Each structure stands twice: as structure tokens, then as C-alpha cells.
Structure 1
Amino acid sequence: MKIVFMGTPEFAIPSLQKLLSSSHKIEAVVSAPDKERGRGRQITSTPVKQFALENGIKVFTPLDLKNPDFINEMKKIAPDLFVVVAFRILPKELYQLPKFGSINLHGSLLPKYRGAAPIQWAIINGEKETGVTTFFLEEKVDTGNIILQKKIPINDDDDFGSLHDKMM
């Protein structure tokens, strides 16, 4: 299967690693553009972009996901599937492009904690468990058909960092 992977932070790398070790072909990676980071304001690539380049994978970093040139590049690849982990909201013309659609990994047990900061909200609300959900993308955010979920217990001493690491 021809896959285009979309992600930005460290959280997305284990999913990309798993796909690379599978029989599927990662045709390209899409990540956020390089930007200034840190006190020195040095231009830095995202963790996903760095990982992709280290593994010889073609990388796209579009400013605008609706840009016709970017959409045409994705059409040329003719992917079977987009796999999205910790990335931006995709426009309809993009997520409908692959033969088998687009799937996303979200850091909560959907439908709970749709949208941003699901790990933080689970902790703030005193949840005893959370998890990750893989689902098909559709027009509304985090509402597509669920493919699978994995539950993860939240311990009393968990904070954002420890829970984030459990989810990876």
C-alpha cells in the first residue's frame, strides 16, 4: 500500500517507525514548515521532518494545505492512504484524495476530548483512563468512524509528560 504520512511532533514518530517496518511503502511525509525556535531563534525542522530525512523519505512542508501545487504533488503520488498523527486539520479536497481515505491517530478515547489538548483535559478532569483512537477523517473534527481504540490507565502520579510517553 502506498502511504503518505502527515505529522509534526515527537509523538508522531513511533507511528511512522511502525509503518516503515511494515510491508507498506511510505511515499512521502508531510510536516509543518521549519520555524524559529529557542532563545537563539534558530530555524529548526520538526521532529517528524528530521526523522523522515534521516530515513531517506521525501518531505513536503506546505504553508497552505489547500495550495494547488501541493494538492497536485499529492495527486501525482496517488496514495492509497494518508496516515495523520498530530498534524493540522486537513481540507476535504486533501483527505478525500487517497484511494482508501485518510486515518488519524488521536490522543483520547473518542468521542471524549475531541480537538486540541486531549491529554491535558483527561488529567484536569480527573479521568482514571484515557487512550488513543484511530479513525477515518471526515468533515467534522475527530468524528469519523472509529477503527480501533487502545485504553491507557492514568495513575495518580501521571502528568502530561508521563501520560504522553505512555501513549507513544
Structure 2
Amino acid sequence: MKNLKVVFFGTPDFAKASLEAIHNSKHTVVGVVTVADKPTGRGQKMTSSPVKNYAVENNLTLFQPEKLRNEDFLNAMKNLDADVFVVVAFRMMPKVLFQLPKLGTFNLHGSLLPDYRGAAPINYALINGDEKTGVTTFFINEKIDEGNILLQSELDIEANENAGSLHDRLMVLGANLVVKTLDGLAENSIVERPQKEAEHPKNAFKIFKEDLKIQWQNPCRVIHNFIRGMSPYPCAFTTLTVGNDKKSLKIYSGSFEIFNHNKTAGSIDINKNEFKIYTEDGFYLPSELQLEGKKRMDVKSFLNGFQSFENILIDG
């Protein structure tokens, strides 16, 4: 099998796993491209991406361009004479860049395309209550996540897993698929195929803060899937009012029971032993949560923090 020369583009841990898999394969990483270091946290300490950290630890040639159309950067990419560019969790690439390598540029996406094109495929597969998802490699073109499919790999979604655990499993599955795709391109054994156009596509738009609020008037299962689809990050929240004090309450996990009741959605039963939040068709029982200004904790520790349970409300 031919040994391909690869330039890798990526930023977070999800991408680092693929870079590591390529580096440990028969193929050669001739360059790594990631974002510039950024100040983070209260101290605004300069922080490197996981992809950069791996590249530095393994003495890989690293690039951190501010602009992907920069002439010096483009010339540097040309001089690497790569066979293929691999992109995982990076940013949109201009055509002048992705058309450079001989075999093209392919991307790894965390869904079974054409479902869940966009920034948050893992979250939305859970929010929508899907039982199956997967990863796709596809050639990049000028439209977002719409290029010809190379390979796909499926994964069953476990009953109560959250976005964090699904992310980690897809990260491993995706890293393996990236190497399998490189092997197939090296052997010229992959037949690329256009994506089917779905009449009602499942979308995975970028998630903003205003999208994270729990709507307690929804059915239990919809709320449960929403919470696990947003956990542990960016995390669904509601508003807890104690007297005149309003605070954000993040909910990471919980369970639910469906039954008929005459309570208003968003009303609560709360005491030292239980915390029930009523929904359209039952109630939700948070098991792990975080009140604004406090640490993440289990529900028992949360309830022990109250001296009185009078005048406590949830914003429904």
C-alpha cells in the first residue's frame, strides 16, 4: 500500500484523536494546521489547542495561520507536496486551499450525512432521540458538509448516554475511519458517492445560549433528551427563584416518570428528599445539577444546601 503524505487540520480533542491515529499509521503527517493560541479563563492565560500540543510533543511541523488565504501560508502548503489534506473539527476552508493536494481534501463529520449537517451533530442526534448515529468522511467542496461521501461507520446510541459519552465514542470511531479512508485512497479502492437529498433533513445548527433553556411545558421524554443532548456541555438550564433571588440552574442529568396530573408545567415539589419538576405529561427528577455560583453536585447535596423550601420556584 502506498504511503500517503498528509497535512492535518484540526483543533479540539475530537481532532487530536484522528491526528494521533494517522501519526501511528503507515501514512506520514508532513504538516499540522491549527488555530493560534488564545487567552482563556479568568487569568487570560495563553492556551494551545489539543492538536497543537500533540504536534509539539511529537515533533510534527506546525502551522498556526491567522488567515487561511495568506500567500505565505498557501505557499508553505504547496511546498509540503501533500497527497491529501485531512480536516477534523476545524473551520471553513477556502477553495484555493482545499484544492491544493493531489487526491483532494476530506473532512470527518460526526454524523451519518446527509443528516445533521452543521456545527452540533452529536448534540442534535440525542436531542431528537435517535437510536443510531455515526461518522462520515467526505470530500470538501464549497458548500458546508455537502461533498461526496467516501466512507461511513455506524454506532448505536445507548439509552441514557449524554453528549459527552457519545462524543468520546464517536471520536474513536472517527479516528479509525480517517485511517481507513486514507488506506482506501492509497489503494484507489473507494468509490465516492454524492449525498442523497433528504426531503426533511435533520439539521445541526450552531447552539447559542438562548437555545439552552429548558421548556418545562414539553413532554418528559423531549425534556430528558434535550438535557442529555446538552450535557455536559454547553448544558441545559432553567431559572431557580428563591424569594427575590433568581439564579441559573444547570441540569446535567436526571430521570422522568410519565403520569396524568393537574399541576402546571414548571411547578415543583421540593423538600429534603426529593426535587420534582412537573412537565406536560409527568415530572422530571434532576440527579446532577449546578446552581449559579456553586459547584456541580448530586441532587442530595443540592437539597441539603437549603434551610427552607418556601418560596422556591422554577421558571417554566
Which residue identity does 1:87 align to in structure 2? F
* Structure 1 residues 63-82: aligned runs within 5 Å: 63-82=66-85
1:96 to 95, 99, 105: 99
Query: Which residue pairs with 2:24 in the alignment?
Result: 21
Partner in structure 2 of residue 160 of structure 1: 163
Deviation of 1:17 after TM superposition, in Å, equals: 1.3
Give the fraction of aligned pairs with identical amino acids, expressed as a percent.
55
2:157 counterpart of 1:140: no
Q: CA deviation at 1:68?
A: 1.1
Aligned partners of 2:39 and 2:133: how far apart in 1? 33
User: Residues 88-117 of structure 1, C-alpha deviation per residue, up to 9 Å, x if partnerless?
Assistant: 111001000001000110001100000101
Structure 1 runs not aligned, ≥5 long: none
CA deviations 1:63-105 (Å, max 9, x no partner) are 1111111111101111110011110111001000001000110
Q: What is the letter of the counterpart of residue 81 of structure 1?
A: V
Q: Secondary structure at the match of 2:117?
A: coil
The alpha-carbon deviation at position 161 of structure 1 amounts to 0.3
Match of 2:51 in 1: 48
Residues 6-35 of structure 1: CA deviation (Å, up to 9, x unaligned): 000000112111111122111010001100
Task: Show the 5 A alignment for 1:102-117.
Answer: 102-117=105-120
Q: What is the aligned partner in structure 2 of residue 4 from structure 1?
A: 7
Match of 1:32 in 2: 35
Which string of whole-angstrom CA distances, capped at 9 and with x for unpartnered residues, describes residues 109-161 of structure 1? Answer: 10000010111111111111111101111111111111111111112211110
Q: Secondary structure at the match of 1:66?
A: coil
| Count of residues paired in the alignment | 168
**How far, CA to CA, are the matches of 1:38 and 1:155 in structure 2?**
33
Q: For residue 36 of structure 2, what is the amino acid of its counterpart?
A: P
After TM superposition, give the deviation of residue 39 of structure 1 in Å.
2.1
3-state SS of 1:15 partner: helix
Matching of residue 121 in structure 1 with residue 124 in structure 2:
yes
- The whole-number CA distance in structure 1 between the counterparts of 2:69 and 2:120 is 25
> 1-side partners of 2:44 and 2:125: how far apart?
33
Structure 2: which 5+ runs fail to align? 172-316
Runs ≥4 residues deviating over 3 A? none
- Residue by residue over 1:30-78, the C-alpha shift from the partner in whole angstroms, topping out at 9 and shown as x without a partner, is 0011001122210010000000110000110111111111111101111
Structure with greater Cα Rg: 2
1:79, 1:49 → 2: CA distance?
19
TM-score (normalised: structure 1): 0.97
